[in-house]
Amino acid sequence: MAAILRGFLIRQAYNCTKSLVASMPACNLTTQVTPPPKVVKGKLEDLQPHIRQYILEKVDVCQPDNIHICDGTEEENVSMLNQLEKDGMIKRLTKYSNCWLARTDPKDVARVESKTVISTPTMRETVPIPREGVKGTVGKWMSPEDLEKALGERFPGCMKGRTMFVIPFSMGPLGSPLSKIGIQLTDSMYVVACMKIMTRMGKKALAALGQDDFVRCLHSVGQPLPMKTPMVNNWPCNPEKTLVTHIPDRREIQSFGSGYGGNSLLGKKCFALRIASRIAKDEGWLAEHMLILGLTNPQGHKRYIAASFPSACGKTNLAMITPTLPGWKAECVGDDIAWMKFDKEGRLRAINPEYGFFGVAPGTSDKTNPNAMRTCESNTVFTNVAERSDGGFFWEGLEKEIPKDVSITSWLGQENWTKESGKPAAHPNSRFCTPASQCPNLDPAWEDPEGVPIDAIVFGGRRPKGVPLVYEAFDWKHGVFIAAAMRSETTAAAEFKGKAIMHDPFAMRPFFGYNVGHYFQHWLDFQQKPGLQLPKMFHVNWFRTSEQGKFLWPGFGENTRVLDWILKRCDGEDVAQNSAIGLVPKEGSLNVDGLDGPLDMKALFNIPKDFWMEEVQEIRKYFEDQINDDLPKDISNELNSLEDRIKAM
């Protein structure tokens, strides 16, 4: 009763009498209710009724003290950063302009796949039914009843004592026919600051929305005030209760307990991949974990590629590549997510729905990724990196750039950190959150509302053994199979411990918004549609190692050599030959001129029969265990053909 009365009072207070509750039951006005929250910024009355209704619904549940409707202005941003600094949640990195360091509670450092769920009326819509006795690993389903219960145990009263920020944001260039709008409600100012970098947010997004519907995103750190337990690093979170939920039928996300990355910046993985992949299936397009890169060869011919690697497997690096081959130019459109749709002419067109980069810090240096270094020297929020005594940042990979008199404080706050401590200075999943507009090699067409035309789709992973540097799919169907059969070594981007080779179809295992088998079919279906210019598909592996465990390929800027070969194939050049697994470079066709150091081409391109026999068995087991009845026939046929070709080797 108190809750219903409270809801009524809130709507009365904001003069929103078109009540959500159709009729007010007679009630005793002496019932104790908390007063409605104060709107400290913006006006609820100025919002479209459907937005206001969503906010009030969640205000009812979460019971914040204040409401702040974000306008997205620079003044707002500055005042929030100042407040965050006052609260001790971020610290200025004085060596740069407007750069900040946040250190999280060490319990909240990465995406939590085990606590990320999708809720649909039936399980099969979200995940395949695994083979009997097997635990499903491609997504997690929650029944609507369990979801309601789980949300009910978490959200009521979760924003008490806090401010609810209302963030209207556009995924994709404002006004592009390919873009979509979301409204995120959050009680974390850190999230607002990062959403300002990662999305086009504020008044402009509201204007672009008009009367249309939006993706509903609710986020709470799950710590009403006063907190019952002390905060660690001034970083409120609730790891025991963390739950990231999606309701694709309602285009809705509700995330509780984590303030970190993809768990809390809901425009990113939750919206732009999980919800968007479902919208894409319904509407006939693709939402993918892919970078988008423009490449101009020395003859001046420009083309774009999209590339899909699992988390922490090199997307940001490839997206910002500095070509080592003379005469080449590379320009970045996006580093993590691509929304792609075939246009009227049958060309696949891609936009980057994001506005910034949330990139892995360790390994980034002037040598590996100078463009990222230049991008994040201003207006950047760093999370869980180490700090230099001169106000600079530090992480693994920057050892050579530390002057003698500069000391390091680790991400855990350990002063005078040295390598000898045996612990990394920066968390392996520490990140920079930085505006795309600052990237020196940003593509001029990166905000083209029509998207850029894609000529090649590249898949890849971390494969220390057996998988060659590059190979091409025989055709679209074979390409979809290669992507479905992708595997990669685990990384620090999620909660996994230790190194293991995991299946990661399309680099989307943690991000599918619906049944992976139906997703494969959605990709396969494009082959049947008339008039489409299907891009060529490839698989790359920068991470093959020698017996001694050293990388066989120099990687980074030198990857242009592989892209050169890929684009030659797109031009129809006769530089490929058949192998059991796909088309590989003809001898001498991969340009290795001027590479310093010896290169073991044989080891890089070797296709060991015993390895591939095992790989086929492993893939078959995975498909049968995990995808079971939902595996498209075309995919199992492709697997059988691969096996036949390997047997015949």
The residue ranges that bind ligand SPV (CB under 6 A) are 111, 261-262, 268-269, 311, 336, 358, 493
80 binds, among ligand GTP, Mn ion, ligand SPV, none (CB under 5 to 8 A by kind): none
Residues 6 or more apart from 90 whose CB is under 8 A from it? 81, 84, 100, 101, 102, 190, 193, 381
268 binds, among Mn ion, ligand GTP, ligand SPV, none (CB under 5 to 8 A by kind): ligand SPV
Binding partner of residue 218 among ligand GTP, ligand SPV, Mn ion, none, CB under 5 to 8 Å per kind? none
H-type alpha helices, 132-267: 144-152, 189-198, 203-209, 261-264
Find the catalytic residue in 103, 216, 219, 289.
Answer: 289
User: Token pair 């984590």 is at which residue?
Assistant: 258
Active site residue 260: yes
Q: What whole-number distance in Å separates Cα of residue 427 and Cα of residue 312? A: 13
Interacting residues with ligand GTP between 478 and 497 (CB under 6 A): 493
- Residues 359 and 276: their CA atoms lie apart, in Å, by 21
Sign, Cα dihedral of 294, 181, 348, 502: positive
- The active-site residue, picked from 187, 336, 564, 625, is 336
> 190 or 358: whose CB is closer to ligand SPV?
358
Task: Select from 26-34, 398-406, 549-557, 570-578 the region that touches ligand GTP (CB under 6 A).
Answer: 549-557
280-284-288-290 Cα dihedral, nearest 10 degrees: -140
Could you tell me the two tokens for 194? 């990062």
Beta strand 286-288 with 243-247: parallel, antiparallel or unpaired? unpaired
Q: Is 111 a catalytic residue?
A: yes
Catalytic residue among 176, 311, 430, 488: 311
269 is a catalytic site residue: yes
- For the bound state, the minimum distance from the C-beta of residue 573 to ligand GTP, rounded and expressed in Å, comes to 24
Residue 209 or 318 with smaller CB distance to ligand GTP:
318
Task: From 265, 260, 288, select the one nearest 276 (Cα to Cα).
Answer: 288
Strands 66-69 and 38-41: parallel
Nearer to ligand GTP, 39 or 508 (CB): 508
Write out the binding residues for ligand GTP, residues 336-355 only, by CB under 6 A. Answer: 336
CB of 104 or CB of 311, closer to Mn ion: 311
Q: Is 289 a catalytic residue?
A: yes
Among candidate residues 70, 313, 332, 433, the one labeled active-site is 313
Nearest residue to Mn ion by CB is 336
Burial class from Cβ neighbours inside 10 Å (0-12, 13-18, 19+) for residue 75 reads exposed
CB of 56 to ligand GTP, least distance (A): 36
Q: 633-647 and 609-622 are packed helices; what angle lies between their axes, rounded to 10 degrees?
A: 160
Structure tokens at 102: 């946040």
Amino acid letter for position 340 = M
- Which string of b and e fits 272-288 if b means at least 16 CB within 10 Å? bbbbbbbbbbeeebbbb
Among residues 203, 248, 196, which one has the least CA distance to residue 84? 196
> Is 419 a known active-site residue?
no
559 is an interface residue for ligand GTP by CB under 6 A: yes
- Pick one of Mn ion, ligand SPV, ligand GTP, none as the site partner of residue 233 (Cβ within 5 to 8 A by kind): none
Residues 305-324 that bind ligand GTP (CB under 6 A): 309, 311-317
- Is 620 known to be catalytic? no
Question: CA torsion sign, 306 to 311 to 314 to 315?
Answer: positive
Site for Mn ion in 299-318 (CB under 5 A): 311
The answer to whether residue 331 forms part of the interface with Mn ion (CB under 5 A) is no
Answer whether 75's CB lies under 8 Å from 102's CB. Answer: no
Q: Considering the rule CB under 6 A, would residue 382 count as an interface residue with ligand GTP?
A: no
Of 179-187, 194-202, 277-285, 553-561, the segment contacting ligand GTP by CB under 6 A is 553-561
- Among 117-125, 336-344, 453-461, 564-572, the segment contacting Mn ion (CB under 5 A): 336-344
- How far apart CA 424 and CA 548 sit, in angstroms, is 23
Among 34, 88, 551, 595, binds ligand GTP (CB under 6 A): 551
**Complete DSSP assignment for 495-556:** S--S--EEE-GGG-TTT-SS-HHHHHHHHHHTTTSTT--PPEEEEE-TT-B-TTS-BSS--G
Nearer to ligand SPV, 59 or 270 (CB): 270
108, 113, 336, 387: which one binds Mn ion (CB under 5 A) = 336
- Site residues for Mn ion per CB under 5 A: 311, 336
- Site residues for ligand GTP per CB under 6 A: 309, 311-317, 335-336, 359-360, 362-363, 368, 493, 542-543, 551, 555-556, 559
By annotation, the residues acting in catalysis are 111, 260, 269, 289, 311, 313, 336, 431
